[in-house]
Structure 1
Amino acid sequence: MKTILPITLFIFTGIATALFIGFDLGNTSETIAQDDEQEGIKENVVINFSHVVAENTPKGKAARKFADLVEERTNGKVSVKIFSNGSLYNDQNEYQALKDGRVQMIAPATSKLTTHFPEWQVLDLPFAFPSHEAVWEAFQGEIGTTLLDDLHNTEIKGLDLWYNGFKQITTNEKAILSPSDFNRKHFRIMPSPAIEEMYNTLEASTSTFPFNKTYKNLEVDFIDGQENTISNIYTKKLYKEQSSLTLSNHGYLGYAVLINREFWNNLSSEVQQVIKETLTETTDWVRRHSIEINDSYKRKLALNSNLDIHYLTNQEEQAWKEAIQPVYEEVESKVGQDLMNEVYRLKEKYEQ
């Protein structure tokens, strides 16, 4: 008993001292909640950005530039994780993944939106845009604004339109030079009614499997050819399974930068502003550099491949345009007169 009594007095003395100097569990909890480091953790935002092309393409480079600038400008509080080459979702399931919130951002080819929003077919009209300047005016002007607004009442928010380049045609046989050369050939295309209508008009058949399966289907000769930009043809090595390349510039391949709307609405206004400003800068960058990137790969193809490369003559191009004129009549009823009038205005302004 004599030993227990001093110990008990010591414990009670310690408790009394703590109460006397203001030991307060409530104040301690409040201090932890206000800790700067803890606030930083709570404010962290992760944006998973999925796309299906290679890192060294215009879209791949633009996505990386966007990610780096956003992280730099938010001091790392917003992290943009890039999943390229279809490593997270392919081009046939990424849109649904975005709607469901399983990924926050994607940048699909504009053609991929046509099955959900028919007006977007206007960008797939063959020979609609005679030059890079015409594409820029279409994307930044009335056409681009109208199409992005078309997404307003959906789970998807359209942020911007990115650039890649004009589409060319490859085949495993002789080059496609005249409309009759399409006859009974089988091509991989993107799932757009306007593109499909063009090939139907030229009496060719089509398949619309995912982009990352194109090489395999060329390898086993399931398809005779495909259409794509030079950067995609080179970086995906599609030229290795083809013998001819026709530089036709018959259509333009661009991208819609999309974000999940609920995710966007939950971001702070400061983060939203950083994303908007960075996207504007990135869009301007890819507009200028996409031309250089495609030209660089064109030179590499000419030097380092067994492709026979052909340029359409003015006479051949005119024959194509006359052959595919029914496509315009078919698409016009689906996209509306206002958008078609803008296409006709741009064609008249930029055609030489």
Structure 2
Amino acid sequence: MRTVITITLFIITGIFTALFFGFDLSEASRTLEYDDEQEGIQDELIIQFSHVVAENTPKGMAARRFASLVESRTDGEIKVQVHSNGTLYNDQQEYQALKEGRVEMIAPATSNLTERFPKWQVLDLPFAFPSHQAVEEVYEGAIGETLLQDLEQEGIKGLTFWYNGYKQVTNNSRPIIYPNDFDRLHFRIMPSPVIEAQFEQLGASTSVLPFNKTYRNLEVGFVNGQENTASNIYSKKLYQDQSYMTISNHGYLGYAVLINQEFWDSLSKEHKQIIESSMAETTSWIRRHAIELNDEHTRRLRQQENLQIDYLTQAQREAWKRRLTSIYDDVEAVVGENLMREIYDLQDKYGN
């Protein structure tokens, strides 16, 4: 009993002491001060942007530039968080993640969309684009617009196309100069019926592998070679277990920049305009810089002592094209006469 009385007296004494020295009990019920930083966190929109290549590639650089422009022009109201090197999803997972709203933006290689959208196969045709100007006309003209509209049926909005460059071939067995040099080699490819048919016509076998598993499969010898741009070959060190590289320019690698339609529809008109203007500026920038970056990485690859680099002559290119002609007829049956006619017109215009 005495203990209880002692504790009670101690508590009462503490309260009176606090009052004597000026403790304000009203602090407990006073409204907290306004914190503008906390409000900023609540109002901030986050765009998760997932892609699979290195940061020092055309796509990696474009993604960072786009993110910077959007954040600056919205005064930080929108932040684009870029996840490179497949840290969130690999190239076989990212489309479904976008469709389900687990990320807001992706920029897959156009080849990775061909199984879902067959018309996109037209972009994988071998030797389809004689020049960078032809690629630009495809991406930013009627063909590009037609292909992006295909995505709407799955709740995906296509914003634009981004550029990388022409594809080259590497392998660990022998120089590849003529079509017969592909015979019985095994290549990593993207999941495109046209690319698979291309290697089949050349006498090679293929395996569809995620981009970020390509290096390991070259290293252990599961595949003999692969096709890619100089920027991807150099940045991902795909040349390290390869002895031969052919500058063939046989196909073009580019990207479709996609955003989840439901997320897009939730944005204000002002934010949509800022995203579109930032995307247009980024696309214009990467159109120019992708060429420079691939040229720079080609020069660096030429400095690798373990890598022999061969350039196709015009006669050798013609031999490849003759071997691959039948693919055009097969693709026309899928994509339609109108798209193929536009491809043929571009080839005539730019001298294929």
Do they fold alike, i.e. is TM over 0.5? yes
Q: How does 1:257-336 map to 2 (within 5 A)?
A: 257-336=257-336
Name the structure 2 match of 1:44: 44
- SS of 2:152's partner is coil
- Partners of 1:37 and 1:243 in 2: how far apart? 55
- How far off its partner does 1:174 sit? 1.3
Contact 1:239 1:305 in 2 (8 A): no
Q: Deviations over 1:43-68 (max 9, x none)?
A: 31000000000000000000000001
- SS of 2:79's partner is strand
- The letter for the 2-side match of 1:307 is L
- SS of 2:153's partner is coil
- SS of 1:207's partner is strand
- Partners of 2:171 and 2:203 in 1: how far apart? 16
- How far off its partner does 1:39 sit? 5.4
Q: How does 1:1-352 map to 2 (within 5 A)?
A: 40-351=40-351
Name the structure 2 match of 1:13: none
Instruction: Using the aligned pairs only, state the percent identity.
Output: 62
Q: Structure 1 305/57 Cα, relative in aligned 2: closer, same or farther at 3 Å?
A: farther
- SS of 1:64's partner is helix
- Partners of 1:175 and 1:257 in 2: how far apart? 35
The answer for unaligned runs of 5 or more in structure 1 is: 1-24
Contact 1:240 1:305 in 2 (8 A): no
- Partners of 1:94 and 1:151 in 2: how far apart? 15
- How far off its partner does 1:153 sit? 2.1
- The letter for the 1-side match of 2:132 is H
Q: Structure 1 178/265 Cα, relative in aligned 2: closer, same or farther at 3 Å?
A: same
- The letter for the 2-side match of 1:328 is Y
- Partners of 2:273 and 2:40 in 1: how far apart? 19
- Partners of 1:39 and 1:267 in 2: how far apart? 19
- Partners of 2:187 and 2:89 in 1: how far apart? 23
- Partners of 2:246 and 2:38 in 1: how far apart? 58
- The letter for the 2-side match of 1:110 is T
- The letter for the 2-side match of 1:272 is K
- Partners of 1:163 and 1:130 in 2: how far apart? 15
- SS of 2:272's partner is helix
- How far off its partner does 1:305 sit? 3.8
- SS of 1:158's partner is strand
- How far off its partner does 1:304 sit? 3.2
- How far off its partner does 1:37 sit? 5.9
